[in-house]
Amino acid sequence: MHISQKAQDCGLSPIRKFHPYAVEAEKQGRKIYHLNIGQPDIETPKAYFEAVRRFADPVVAYAPSPGIPELVDAVRGYYSRRLGVELDGGDILITTGGSEALSILMNCILDEGDEVIVPEPYYPNYYTFIRAAGGVIRPLTTTPDEGYFYADRAKFEALLRPNTRALLVTNPGNPTGTILRPDELRMLAAFARDHGIYLVCDEVYREFLYDGEGELMSVLQNDGFEDNLVVIDSVSKRFSACGARIGSLISRNRELMNEALKFCQARLSVATLDQVAAAALYTVPDDYFTATRDEYRRRRDTVVRALRKIPGVVCAEPMGAFYLMAALPVDDADEFQKWLLTEFEDRGETVMYAPGASFYATPGKGRNEIRIAYVICEEDLARAVELLGLGIAAYNSRKK
C-alpha cells in the first residue's frame, strides 16, 4: 500500500528511538539514568489536581475550538502580569501542547517547497512539523566551540530565499540552552518585518533563565512587528505538566489567527478537563517559578562541572532551559548509545542521552554530539555523567 513521501522523509525521534534497547537492558536488571528526555521530576503544582477533583459537570462536553474562556483569560493574565504584554482573547488559540501549535502554524504559512530558516542544532520535531506541511528547513549551522551562537543578522540574510516564509527560534534554546538578549530578539523581529516573513519564537522554556543573563522576556514585548510575530507556548515545562498536553498559539496577526482557527475547528477541541486544570496552574504564586529555576540552576552546575572532568568533552554552559549539547570524543554518538545499552554497565547501571545528529539538517553534523536533559536530581545527574565518562573510556579502549 502507498505511504506518502512526506511521512517517509520524517524520522523517528532521537529522544525516543532507543527505547526498545532500554526496555531490554532493564529486563536484564540494569538501571538506566535517563538524560534523553525532557520530562521534569519537579512536582506539578497541586492546583492542577485540585481543579480536576472539583470538576463536577455531568457531561464532559466539547470545549470551544479556540479554548475555554477560563484558560484563555489565564494565559492573558500571565502575559500581562509577568511580561507587561496585553493580549486580546483573539490573539490566543489553545492547542494540544506546543506541538499542535507548531503543526497548525506550519500548515497555515507553508506551501510545498517553502523554506523556514532554523538555527541548528534544533528540536528534532521541528523537522516533522515543517516537512509534514510541505516545507523545507534551511539550517543556520552553529558549533559547540562558539557556544552555539547564531544572533547575527548577516548570517540570516545569507540564507534568505524568495520562498522563505519564516524564521523559527527557541528562546531559551532546546537543545543548546542559549538565550537571545532583548536587542537580539528585536534585531530578528526587524529582519522578519523587513523581508515580510514570520518570526516564530518557541518560548516554552521562558521561565528558566540563569545567572542574571537577562530578565524574563518574550518577543511579544517588541512593538511595531505585530503582523510578523508568532509565539509557541505551553504549560508542559513551565509547570512540569508535560502530560497535560496544553499549549497555545499566540499572535496579533488576525488574518493568521483566523486561518489557524480553521484547523482548531477541524480537530474540534482540546481536551476539556485538561484545559480546566491548566487554567488553575496559572494561579500559582511567582515564587514557584523562582524555586524551580533555582533547582534547575543547581542541576545545570552539577552536570557542567562533571562533564568538564571528562577528557575530550566540549560543552558550553547553558544560560537557559534545562538542556545542553556536548561534543564527545567518540566517532558516532548513535552507535555509542546503542553500545551503552547493550554492552556496557558499571555496577549494574548505564545511561541514556539523545544523540545529536538528528538535531541537525546538515548531513554529517552532530555525529559526535549529544543532548543532555538535566531534569533528574543532582545525585543522579552526577552518577549519570560519571557513567558517561566511564563508558567513553571503555568504548574507545576497545577499539585500540
As its CATH architecture, domain 46-281 has: 3-Layer(aba) Sandwich (3.40)
Residues 6 or more apart from 37 whose CB is under 8 A from it? 15, 16, 354, 373, 375
C-alpha 104/C-alpha 133 separation (Å) is 9
Question: Is residue 374 classed as helix, strand or coil in its secondary structure?
Answer: coil
Do 5-43+287-397 and 46-281 have matching folds? Answer: no
pLDDT attached to residue 145: 84
Amino acid letter, 122:
Y
Question: Cell digits for 105?
Answer: 502554524
Residue 350 φ then ψ, to 5°: -150, -175
Q: How many CB atoms lie within 10 A of CB 217?
A: 21
Burial class from Cβ neighbours inside 10 Å (0-12, 13-18, 19+) for residue 338 reads middle
Residue spans of the domains in the chain: they are 5-43+287-397, 46-281
Burial annotation 89-102 (CB, 10 A radius, 16+ → b, else e): eebbbbbbbbbbbb
Which residue, among 19, 17, 42, 15, has the nearest Cα to 235 in the 3D structure? 42
pLDDT attached to residue 10: 86
Contact 279, 75 (CB under 8 A): no
Mean pLDDT by 10 residues, the chain (400 residues): 91 78 94 94 96 97 98 98 97 98 98 98 96 97 90 97 98 96 96 98 96 81 97 97 97 98 98 98 95 96 97 94 96 96 97 95 95 96 98 88
Q: What is the CATH number of domain 5-43+287-397?
A: 3.90.1150.10
